[in-house]
A and B are shown apart, each in its own frame.
Chain A
Amino acid sequence: MHIRTYHELTEPDRSGLAAQIMAQRRRVAQRLAGVGRLIAVMSGKGGVGKSYVTAHAARALARVGRRVGVLDADLNGPTAARLLEARDGPLAVREDGIEPAVGADGVRVVSMDQLLADGRPLAFRGPEAESFVWRGAAEAAALREFVGDVTWGALDVLFVDLPPGLARFQELAELLPAAPAVLTVTIPTAESGDAVRRALRAALERGARPLGIVENMVGGAFVGVAGDTLAREFGTPLLARVPWHPTPDVWHQLAETIWNAV
């Protein structure tokens, strides 16, 4: 018995699942056509202040007249909306997409925090049994909708605030027409450096362009030189050392450095 393989079939496919996926990708590309620079803010480690750095860098850029958006890709631990004072009020549904909230200094924000009831974890309707099989797909789809279904409009910079780990970066990279530039945040410790190194290497293997390293929480209890070490290893600049109590000048300088780096 000869059975043709999947790739040997040539008849039209009414379901068009592959075409539906391609349409989703096109939608993302079209939506991002007005975005000058997309910067993924990442770290392999939790608690290093990615969202904090993202929010303040975004505000500092907005204060000098740049049009800035922040997409909170940390779906399970979203904080960007609070940091940018954009938690309240419904998101407007328009014919062509969802309008982002306008946060502090005019930064446009979309975050799962704006959608979830206070204190509720992110959960999806569906069969609980073996939910691990589909939950990842649902989260990836939510990320796709945050990118592709939001009317970001014309932006100079769109920051994508990633959660710790590698998975969300990989989902993002799959979605985008080209791998994003990555801004990497670490704290000074060697332990943080180890985690960040793996994440950054994985991002570079996916074609990402390193913008530089931000060493956060400098001068306090955390001791080490992870920022310098990573910068040297990856041949990328150490963009800023952010102290425990940064002044507006620190953010202004970081924003300027980021702008020049991209």
Chain B
Amino acid sequence: MKFLCVDCDRQMTFEERQLPGDGTLAAAFRCPQCGRVVAMLTNPMETQLVASLGVQIGGRTIPAQPMEMVRGMVAGGKEDAFEDGGGHFPTWSDDAQERLARVPGFVRGMVKRIYSEYARDRGITVVTTAVMDAARTELGLEGM
């Protein structure tokens, strides 16, 4: 969607976006030649449709975050569905992942979290089988 100032035959440029909080959106566009300003107002359904596409009218001011739409728009989600590592969450080596996969499914998530937190607390960026062994010894996690 674009706005054209017909008198000037110039495409109007985005000026400002406002989200009043009632599900609607207002976006102002200005003619670069005559200065005339028009506002585009979208109803809640139209606003939601644009948001659902994962785009922002007026352009993005910050890069899209991982699963931004799912994390922001899914209702009835688990409160602890995501664990934000703030960019410091350790990765897992392939052999550590294989070992983790042998942990019974119903406790695997908890076990993974324990090892991850152990590594993060110690500034370890990659969980390896050696890190898992060390954590088991230090934390008394025999059998995990």
| Interface residues in chain A, defined as those with a beta carbon under 8 Å from any beta carbon in chain B | 1-4, 6, 9, 11, 13-17, 20-21, 23-24, 27, 67, 85-99, 101-107, 114-117, 120-127, 129-131, 133-135, 137-138, 140-142, 144-146, 149-150
Q: Which residues of chain B are near A134, meaning CB under 8 Å?
A: 45, 48-49, 52
A97 to B48 alpha-carbon distance, docked (Å): 24
Q: Is the CB of A115 within 8 A of B77?
A: yes
A149 touching B67 in the complex, CB below 8 Å, given contacts A89-B112, A92-B83, A133-B45: yes
Tell me the bound Cα distance from A174 to B51 in angstroms.
Answer: 19
- Listed from nearest, the 10 A-B pairs whose CB atoms lie closest are A89-B109, A85-B105, A88-B109, A95-B87, A90-B83, A137-B52, A120-B76, A127-B44, A106-B101, A11-B11
Which residues of the other chain, B, contact A16 by a CB distance below 8 angstroms? Answer: 59
Q: Restricting to B33-87, which residues have a CB under 8 Å from any CB of A?
A: 44-45, 48-49, 51-60, 64, 66-70, 72-85, 87
How many residues of chain B have a CB within 8 Å of chain A? 63
Would you list 22 pairs from A and B whose C-beta atoms are within 8 A, ordered by A residue? A14-B13, A16-B59, A17-B55, A85-B104, A88-B108, A89-B108, A89-B109, A90-B78, A90-B80, A90-B83, A91-B81, A91-B83, A92-B82, A102-B97, A102-B101, A104-B101, A115-B78, A115-B81, A120-B77, A125-B74, A141-B54, A145-B68
CB contact under 8 A between A93 and B85, given known A104-B105, A125-B73: yes
Q: Which of B48, B55, B74 contacts A20 (CB 8 A)?
A: B55
Q: Which of A1, A6, A88, A99 contacts B107 (CB 8 A)?
A: A88
CB proximity of B100 to chain A, nearest CB, Å: 5
Nearest neighbor of A91 in chain B, beta-carbon distance: B82
Chain A residues contacting B73 (CB-CB under 8 Å) are 124-126, 138
Q: Is the CB of A94 within 8 A of B44?
A: no
CA A94 – CA B91 in complex, angstroms?
A: 9
CB pair B92–A102 under 8 Å, yes or no, is yes
B residues near A9, Cβ cutoff 8 Å: 2, 4, 11
| Minimal Cβ-Cβ distance residue in A for B10 | A11
In the complex where A4-B4, A93-B82 touch, is A85 in contact with B108 (Cβ < 8 A)?
Answer: yes
Bound CA–CA A9/B89 (angstroms): 46
How long is the Cα–Cα vector from A14 to B77 in the complex, in angstroms? 34
A90 to B85, CA, bound (A): 11
Q: Is the CB of A122 within 8 A of B74?
A: yes
Complex: A127 Cα to B52 Cα, angstroms: 12
Contacts of A97 in B (CB 8 A): 66
Q: Do A145 and B89 contact each other (CB < 8 Å), given the known contacts A93-B83, A117-B78, A138-B52? A: no
Per-residue interface assignment for chain B, residues 1 to 19, with 1 indicating a CB less than 8 Å from any chain A CB and 0 otherwise: 1101010011101100000
Closest to B90 in A: A92
A25 to chain B, nearest CB (A): 11
B128 within 8 A of partner (CB): no
Q: Chain A contacts of B82 at CB under 8 A?
A: 90-93, 98, 115
Chain B: which residue is nearest A107 at the CB level?
B101
Minimum distance in angstroms from A2 CB to a CB of chain B:
8
Contact of B89 among A13, A94, A107 (CB under 8 A): A94
